[in-house]
């Protein structure tokens, strides 16, 4: 089925001018960018977005890194978009990511891992609504 998923190009990616190269990987995989904006996350926004990780030891560092530079938030649409995006992103830890994946190609570390993607269809809807109004999504 056609799905939508929330994608974030993280500060390590925007800092290294990789927006276009990463978007090309999505498009070549058949994912369509149906909404996109470049924003600077506040501490409050990043903390709320990653609230599920609040008790993890990396939470403070993650929030600090996500607010350090602008990010690009996007809605990707396509057949099985949630799983397809996770496939093209590769494993969270770039050391474990498969060849050809975005994290294998571009990530600097497990934290500065270049991209975020929703982990389920249910979370995709929540994460898309966190950043986008329906009127900003243009398939």
**Among all residues, which ones are annotated catalytic?**
116
Instruction: Note whether 20 and 99 are within 8 A (CB).
Output: no
Q: Does the annotation place 86 within a ligand binding site?
A: yes
The one among 62, 81, 88, 97 contacting ligand CMP by CB under 6 A: 62
Q: Does 130 bind ligand CMP (CB under 6 A)?
A: no
Q: Does 45 bind ligand CMP (CB under 6 A)?
A: no
Instruction: Note whether 109 and 59 are within 8 A (CB).
Output: no
| Nearest distance, CB of residue 135 and ligand CMP, angstroms | 26
Q: Does the annotation place 54 within a ligand binding site?
A: no
What contacts 80, CB < 8 A, 6 or more positions away? 1, 3
Q: Can you list the alpha helix ranges (DSSP code H) found in the chain?
A: 11-15, 19-28, 43-49, 59-66, 81-89, 102-106, 121-131
Interface characters, 67-106, with ligand CMP (x: CB under 6 A)? -------------------------x--------------
The one among 34, 91, 110, 121 contacting ligand CMP by CB under 6 A: 110
| Nearest distance, CB of residue 58 and ligand CMP, angstroms | 4
Q: Which of 76, 124, 115 is nearest to 92 (CA)?
A: 115
């Amino acid at each position: 089925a056609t799905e939508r998923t929330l994608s974030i190009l993280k500060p390590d990616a925007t800092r290294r001018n990789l927006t276009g190269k990463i978007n090309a990987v999505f498009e070549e995989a058949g994912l369509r960018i149906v909404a996109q904006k470049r924003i600077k996350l506040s501490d409050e926004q990043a903390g709320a977005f990653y609230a599920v990780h609040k008790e993890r030891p990396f939470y403070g560092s993650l929030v600090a890194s996500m607010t350090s530079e602008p990010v690009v938030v996007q809605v990707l649409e396509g057949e099985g978009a949630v799983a397809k995006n996770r496939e093209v992103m590769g494993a969270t830890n770039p050391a474990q990511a498969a060849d050809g994946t975005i994290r294998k190609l571009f990530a600097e570390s497990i934290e500065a891992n270049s991209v975020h993607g929703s982990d389920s269809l249910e979370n995709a809807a929540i994460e898309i609504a966190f950043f986008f109004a329906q009127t900003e999504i243009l398939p």
